[in-house]
Structure formats: C-alpha cells, structure tokens
Amino acid sequence: MMRRLFTLCALAAVAGAPFPALLQAQRAVPAATPDWNALGDQAAHMLADYIKINTTNPPGNELASARFLKGILDREGIEAQILDTAELGAGRANLYARFRGTGKKKAIILLHHMDVVPAAPSFWKIPPFSGEIRDGYVWGRGAIDMKSFGVVDLLAMVALKRAHVPLDRDIIFIANADEELGSTGATVFTKRHADLISDAEYLVTEGGQNDVVNGKLIYYGVGVAEKRTFWQGLTVTGIPSHGSRPTPDNPVPKLVAALDRIAHYETPIHPTPGVDKFFKDISVLYQEPQRGWLSNVAGAMSDSAARKWILSNVAWNAYLRNTISLTGLRGSNKTNVIPPEAYAELDIRLLPDADTAQFSADLNRVANDTAVHIRTIFGPKTPLEVPTNTDFFRAIERASHDRDPKAPVTTPMFTAATDRPLYRALGIATYGLDPFRIENTLYQEGMHGNNERISIENLTFGIHYMYDILRYAQ
C-alpha cells in the first residue's frame, strides 16, 4: 500500500498536479482489499513489541505502552492523546484516539486495557516478556489478555483507513490503565472525559469467548451481560480465653454454623434475556432430551434430571443464578487460644438485574444468627445487560456467519468482571467480543496462567473479523 501511494505521488509530481487533485485521485481509487497476511505479520511484530513493554500490574507502567501506541497511531495519521498521567500516578496513563467518519451516525469505541497480570518466569517455556515469535505464535504475558485485542483493534482501524472504506461512525480507540487491579484507568477516564465519548453509541472490548474444541468452532460467544461483584465480610466477636476450657463465647463455632447454612443455600434460578438466548441457541448442538431442556431452561428446572444435568456444569450454574463462594476464613492463629473474633469472606456474584438490598436481606435470613455481622466489602458496579437487537450485534452476527454459517452467535453470561459497567453507566451499549478462535485448552492454560501465546493465524483472523464488524456496523 505504501509503495502504491508512493508511485501515485511520484506520477503526480511529474505531471505537476496540484495537491488537491492528488487527494481526489487517491479518494477515487476503489477500496482495495487489504493484504490480510501482511497485516497479520505486522500484528505479530507489533504485539511482540507491545509485550516487551512490561506492564505488569502492579505497578502497571502503562505510560510507556501508551507512548508506544501513540507512536503507531501518529505514523498512521490518526490523532491520539495521552491522558490522565497526573491523576493515575507515576508511570501511568490512558490513551484516546479518534479516526473520523462522516459523523452521520454515532461513534463506536474499541476499548482495551494495557496492563497485564504478573507472570512467574520459572513456570514458562520462554521468558514472559520476551515477545518471542516462535512456531507461528507470539509468546508472552498479554498475548491473550489483552494486548493482542488492542493490536487487532488498531490494525483493523488502520486497514479501514488505508482502504478508504466509507464510515458514517467515528471509530474511537481507547487504551486504559489498571483493569486487572483497581480499574482506576477506566474510572478516571469515564469521570474526566465523558465529553470525549458523548457521541458514542457502542463499545466493544473483552468479555466474550468463542468456544473452540479440537480446532472446531462450536459457537461465537458475545458478551451482553456481566455478573456483579458483591463481596461480603462476616464477623462474629466473642471473648478470648484458653482453648483448654471451651466456652459458649467462642466466635468460631457460631461463624462456622452460619457459613454451613450459607453453603447449603440454593439461590433461585433466574435466566436473564441473554442467558435464555444462549441456552436456546446452543440447544441445537444437543440431542433429545437435552435439546428440549436447553430450549426452555426455566421450564427444565422442574424436572429433577434436567436440573441436575444443567446445574452440574459450573459455568451454566453461574449463568443462571446469584452465586456464593465461601473463600476467606480466619479464626485463631494459635491452636490453644479461643480468639476474640472470627471472620470470613464470601465471593458473591449477582445477576445483572438482582436487587442488592433484597439479596442482603436473604443472606442475613439464611445466616440466621444476630451474632453474625455481614457487611459489603466490595460493592456492585452498574448493572450490565445490553440488547441484541442493535446494528452492532447484527454486524457481529453477519461477520461471524460469513466465516461459519452454521455456528450460533450467542450470548453466554460473563461471570467475572470487566471495565464495561463504567462505560455502560454513560449510556453506551457495551459488548464483549472474542476476536479470535483460540482453542479452549490454550485459553485455559494461558489466560492469567503460563505460556500465554497466540497464533499469527489468529491475529490475521482477528483483524479481518474486526474490519468486517466495523464495516457492517456503519
């Protein structure tokens, strides 16, 4: 592409054509099909360089990665700004860029986070920040979560620009700091720069996952909903004394009894719209009787065999109800001392439409002991459930069906947390997408694990897929 433009420039210069005429000549060139393999190769090298910038959080060090991304955007002629360095602290930053369309329709945001989780090099086959390209893969921390997605977003935007694809919607590229720890990047960005994205209708980021088994894509998983983190701390106070003489004022047995009641508590089953669609969509992949059960998952709950089968899948169970995991637990630090206090923590994940006050009341009722004091240690973010009846969702469906006409494009619940609710709070419809076809086992191994890597084939796929989605969403 660069060479072709150069030739055009050279010819124009020889002919003595004025500059505006040259611009017109360039615009008149019909949109060329991008060279996907060349873009995939460019993505691999860009991702390798991005991985080499160690943005392990803490401390994050995202200012260096923001400068790296800005350098690329500058070279491609896309206006970019590094923001929030003072608010986020030393070495940290957010990045914002905008590629302008006609502005006839509202903008689309491509969002990713620049930070990565820590990596323990001794468990890796290659150093996690080497960005090594080996055996057709780019290796390193962030290769899946989610520097690869950022590179794909950037190059899809660049490909649209180079090919002069007409755009009615501006494309906004945002890279945030600190998603993996405190979400301060997205929090500061949405607080300070809501004006920069006031024209945005859609946002796409992590939070989707395609299902790939033995090289076969089973379904495209698009995130339209997210569970809400609602962590609780339970405290029982007592009277400390010597363990050799048991007393009724020991707080530990009271806490344990309450925890046991909570552990046996069956939260109600409640399929949200996206989850209901998910089960209906995937029902076609099963034989009877499972097919019938999944096509009406709420109804299936009254059939004990169906209920048992559906809820034995830990992911499906979490899609269908508020969940409670007993995690932290603390009593005495000495075997012979009855402690003054016993403490436990619950990792609770609520469905998007759950009523938090009602849930807290239910939890207190189940704990059933006024000596147990329950308080929220991490409050829920804005509820997130966005519609599938939108231009953007239809664009994802179309681009997916271009590639796999028979694979469902469906909407599993996202059971963990992303930065999406912060943007959802501004009224933007936020979608979780997986722009790759990563084998489930590789995803499991690499995401926050060891030997994180992504194939160049997947990078190539991702750029083309995002390019089509953005084109179709116009």
- To Zn ion, the closest distance from the beta carbon of 226 in angstroms equals 13
Contact 322, 350 (CB under 8 A): yes
- To Zn ion, the closest distance from the beta carbon of 111 in angstroms equals 11
Closer to Zn ion by Cβ: residue 145 or 178: 145
Query: Interface residues with Zn ion (CB under 5 A)?
Result: 145-146, 206
Residue nearest to Zn ion (CB): 145
Distance CA 432, CA 414 (A): 9
Cα–Cα distances in angstroms (integers) from residue 16 to residues 7, 10, 11, 405, in the given order: 14, 10, 9, 51
Closer to Zn ion by Cβ: residue 57 or 388: 57
- To Zn ion, the closest distance from the beta carbon of 417 in angstroms equals 10
Structure tokens at 103: 């502005």
Distance CA 422, CA 113 (A): 13
Closer to Zn ion by Cβ: residue 110 or 363: 110
- To Zn ion, the closest distance from the beta carbon of 186 in angstroms equals 12
Closer to Zn ion by Cβ: residue 397 or 434: 434
Closer to Zn ion by Cβ: residue 254 or 420: 420
Distance CA 116, CA 468 (A): 28
Distance CA 22, CA 28 (A): 10
- To Zn ion, the closest distance from the beta carbon of 113 in angstroms equals 6
Q: Is 33 exposed, middle or buried (0-12, 13-18, 19+ CB in 10 A)?
A: exposed
- To Zn ion, the closest distance from the beta carbon of 204 in angstroms equals 13
* 288: amino acid identity, one letter: E
Percentages (nearest 5) of helix, strand, coil residues in the chain = 40, 20, 40
Closer to Zn ion by Cβ: residue 126 or 181: 181
- To Zn ion, the closest distance from the beta carbon of 318 in angstroms equals 18
Check residue 288 and report its DSSP letter. T
Q: Give the H or E element holding residue 350.
A: strand 341-350
- To Zn ion, the closest distance from the beta carbon of 434 in angstroms equals 11
Structure tokens at 434: 């997986």
Check residue 404 and report its DSSP letter. -
Residue 31 φ/ψ, nearest 5 degrees: -55, 115
Closer to Zn ion by Cβ: residue 55 or 250: 55
Contact 46, 72 (CB under 8 A): yes
Check residue 122 and report its DSSP letter. G
- To Zn ion, the closest distance from the beta carbon of 114 in angstroms equals 10
- To Zn ion, the closest distance from the beta carbon of 66 in angstroms equals 17
Contact 92, 60 (CB under 8 A): yes
Closer to Zn ion by Cβ: residue 293 or 414: 414
Give the residue from 273, 277, 39, 276 showing the smallest Cα distance to 153: 39
Closer to Zn ion by Cβ: residue 113 or 169: 113
**List of long-range contacts for 2-6, beta carbons under 8 Å, 24+ apart:** none
Distance CA 230, CA 348 (A): 5
Closer to Zn ion by Cβ: residue 282 or 442: 442
- To Zn ion, the closest distance from the beta carbon of 99 in angstroms equals 23
Closer to Zn ion by Cβ: residue 146 or 156: 146
Is the Cα torsion angle 69, 73, 75, 81 positive or negative in sign?
negative
Distance of CA 324 to the CA centre of its chain: 22
DSSP codes, 311-327: HTSHHHHHHHS-EEEEE
